[in-house]
A = this chain, B = another copy of it.
Amino acid sequence: MDNINLEIPDLLRRHFPFLRESSLQKEIALVGAIHHFKEGEILMNFGSYIKSVPLLVKGAIKVVREDDVDGKELLLYFLHAGQTCSMSFSCCMMNKKSDIRTTVEDDATLIAIPIKYVDEWMGKYSSWKNFVMQSYDSRMREMVRTIDSIAFRKMDERLLEYLYQKSKVHQSKILFATHQEIADDLNASREAISRLLKKLENSNRVRLERNKIHIL
């Protein structure tokens, strides 16, 4: 009778198979809203409060940290379909401001859940509780990987890893990005990235074009 969204159970079945309790699915269908976003849109910016938590069903989201002092950036990780932003969890549950910025990396579809339910369902549905814990866990691990990368790896390795990740995110061997954008994500200088890319091209690992990188 209510404004149940009939698409949602199907989306959940396909992308969040662990959330299988049917009463939970019904609740999500009742209160969740499907949204579409285009590449480049900003979902959440620094210092903003969050009012809903996104279940990503299509596309990819980029999570970035920005330095308070001189505005330099650093990519933290990408989110894929079937994942959610645990940062949002903590932000909304503690009602704190966001530390990070999330933008759409690849045209995205998501189910937005108003924050009040995130907490409510934790006690009510064990699959939801597990899902939330699982998200925290994987995000934590991503953060540790990011730390490894900036603390222990040199730029050439980091760049390769980045290209590899980005290729997975877009499911394509052709990446559309300028050297400057890559440099921003890696918190490096554009010149350094240009030179390293040129080296990769010389060793036949990539082919470079304006705004485009072919991974070989």
> A192 on the interface (CB 8 Å rule)?
no
> A177 on the interface (CB 8 Å rule)?
no
Taken residue by residue from 70 to 113, chain A's Cβ proximity to chain B (1 for < 8 Å, 0 otherwise) reads as: 10101010000000001101100110100110000000000000
Taken residue by residue from 51 to 72, chain A's Cβ proximity to chain B (1 for < 8 Å, 0 otherwise) reads as: 0000000000000010111101
If the complex has contacts A90-B136, A137-B93, are A100 and B144 also in contact, measured as CB distance less than 8 A?
yes
In the bound complex, do residue B137 and residue A139 qualify as a contact, i.e. CB atoms below 8 Å apart?
Answer: no
> A165 on the interface (CB 8 Å rule)?
no
In the bound complex, do residue A129 and residue B140 qualify as a contact, i.e. CB atoms below 8 Å apart?
Answer: no
Q: Could you say which of B69, B99, B122, B147 contacts A76, with CB atoms under 8 Å apart? A: B147
- Chain B contacts of A86 at CB under 8 A? 136, 140
- Chain B contacts of A146 at CB under 8 A? 147
CB closest residue in chain B, given A91: B137
> A150 on the interface (CB 8 Å rule)?
yes
In the bound complex, do residue B150 and residue A147 qualify as a contact, i.e. CB atoms below 8 Å apart?
Answer: yes
- Chain B contacts of A96 at CB under 8 A? 137
- Supply 23 A–B pairs (Cβ within 8 Å), ascending by A: A65-B144, A65-B151, A67-B148, A67-B151, A68-B148, A69-B152, A76-B144, A76-B147, A86-B136, A89-B136, A90-B133, A90-B136, A90-B137, A90-B141, A93-B133, A99-B141, A122-B122, A122-B129, A140-B140, A143-B144, A147-B147, A150-B151, A151-B187
Beyond A67-B148, A74-B152, 6 additional contacts (C-beta under 8 Å) are A99-B141, A123-B123, A136-B136, A136-B140, A143-B143, A147-B147
Binding site for B on A (CB under 8 A): 65, 67-70, 72, 74, 76, 86-87, 89-90, 93-94, 96, 99-100, 122-123, 126, 129, 133-134, 136-137, 139-141, 143-144, 146-148, 150-152, 187
